[in-house]
Amino acid sequence: GKDEAVDVTVLLRKVKLEMTRVIADMGIAPELEVDKFLVAKISEAMTNSQTKLVFSGDKPSELGIQVLSQVLKTLTPAITNFKAVCFWKMIVGDAGLRDICQYLLPIGKNEAVKYPGFSVLELMDCRVSPSSCAHIAQALRTDVPLQILTLDFNAIGDEGMTTLGEGLRYNKSLEVLNLSFCRIGPAGGGIIGDQIIRESKIKKVRLPGNRIMEGGLEAIALNLGKTTTLVELDVSDNSIGSVGSAISTLCEGLRVNTSLETVNLEHNLVGVPGALLLMETLPMCSNLKIFRVSGQGIPAEMYKAVIMDGKKKKGGKKGGKKKKK
């Protein structure tokens, strides 16, 4: 009603005041009009009662991201209650990412106003460099309330993965890690297994379009028995071949794991020996609901016996619930 509209106007006045203060403190020239775009964006979100800010393209600049981070740190949750910020296809820059991690991510829960803390950060195709991952790792090490981290389409590679692993192994809050097409190799796969899956409380790890290969899958598989929280593992399209013992190690890991519900191995080569091992193993995994592989190089009947879609019964156990989003 009318009261809400008035409230937003009052709150926006405070947003503008704080932004003017931060811009002055940072010594930014007023004629750059950094505040204009940010105020309009925050105003639109607040008027529509949205708790998520989404940016894409060339605005805000790196400087604008720094201003936004500092403003929201001061105003949340008393004035603004954003809990998610998404940057898509834009340059965030090292200083921008540093300020996001230093000011936004530590914003904690506030029970009085039912604010959950800053819980979602998406940086998709933002040219995040391996060295910039240190800012994220530093924040994760302090166990910020972040629950979902998306770094898809950033070439962080094994170096960035190593840095992230150092932060994530001490973190107990992050639940979903999205790392599609990040140029992660076997060594990065090792970090994901040994540090993230083994040490953290992660629930979903999604790595499609990397190159963890057999070595990376093996490291992940060896740690499946050490996690009780992991429910989803996506290693599709990771140049995993049928040579070596990766699939048999995976089968051993699946047998001892009690939490996994969804595994995606599509667009990798499993081979007939691998498919036979999976046919033997999957009926023993009562927690698994969905299991996906590609049919390449596997006879059709064997392929049908291996895949699980969450509906059909398998080895006498009940069909699973539908996949949760």
Query: CA-CA distance, 96 to 93, in Å (whole number)?
Result: 5
- Find the mean pLDDT for residues 130-143: 96
- Mean pLDDT value of segment 253-268: 98
Q: What percent of the chain has pLDDT over 70?
A: 94
What is the distance, to the nearest Å, from the Cα of residue 111 to the centroid of all Cα atoms in its chain? 25
Question: CA 42 to CA 117: how far, in whole Å?
Answer: 18
Judged against a pLDDT cut of 90, whether residue 13 lies above it is answered with: yes
Label residue 312 by pLDDT band (50, 70, 90).
low
Q: Which residues 6+ apart lie within 8 Å of 13 measured at CB? A: none
pLDDT at position 323? 44
CA 8, CA 108: separation in Å to the nearest integer?
Answer: 23
The chain-wide mean pLDDT, for the chain, equals: 92
User: How would you label 189-214 residue by residue, b for 16+ Cβ within 10 Å and e otherwise?
Assistant: bbbbbbbbbbbbebbbbbbbbbbbbb
Q: What pLDDT is recorded for position 310?
A: 86
> Residue 85, SS3?
strand
The predicted pLDDT at position 109 comes to: 87
For residues 128-155, give the mean pLDDT: 96
- Average pLDDT (118-132) is 97
Both tokens assigned to 303: 């392929």
pLDDT for the residue numbered 4: 52
d(CA 147, CA 292): 26
51 pLDDT above the threshold of 90: yes
152 token code pair: 């898809």
Average pLDDT over residues 235-241: 97
Per-residue confidence at 281, pLDDT binned at 50, 70, 90?
Answer: very high
Strands 204-206 and 52-56, bridge-based pairing = unpaired
- What average pLDDT does the segment 278-305 reach? 95
**Does residue 324 carry a pLDDT above 60?**
no
Q: Secondary structure of 261-318 in the HEC alphabet?
A: CEEECCCCCCHHHHHHHHHHHHHHCCCCCEEECCCCCCCHHHHHHHCEECCCCECCEC
Beta strands at 148-150 and 84-88: parallel, antiparallel or unpaired: unpaired
CA distance 32 to 20: 12
Over range 202-230, report the average pLDDT.
98
Exposed e or buried b per residue across 240-253, where buried means at least 16 C-beta atoms within 10 angstroms of its C-beta:
bebeeebbbbbbbb
- Residue with the two structure tokens 């070595």: 215
pLDDT on residue 311 = 76
Ramachandran quadrant class, 164 (left: phi over 0; alpha: psi -120 to 50; beta: rest): alpha
pLDDT per residue as tens digits for the range 95-104: 999 999 999 9
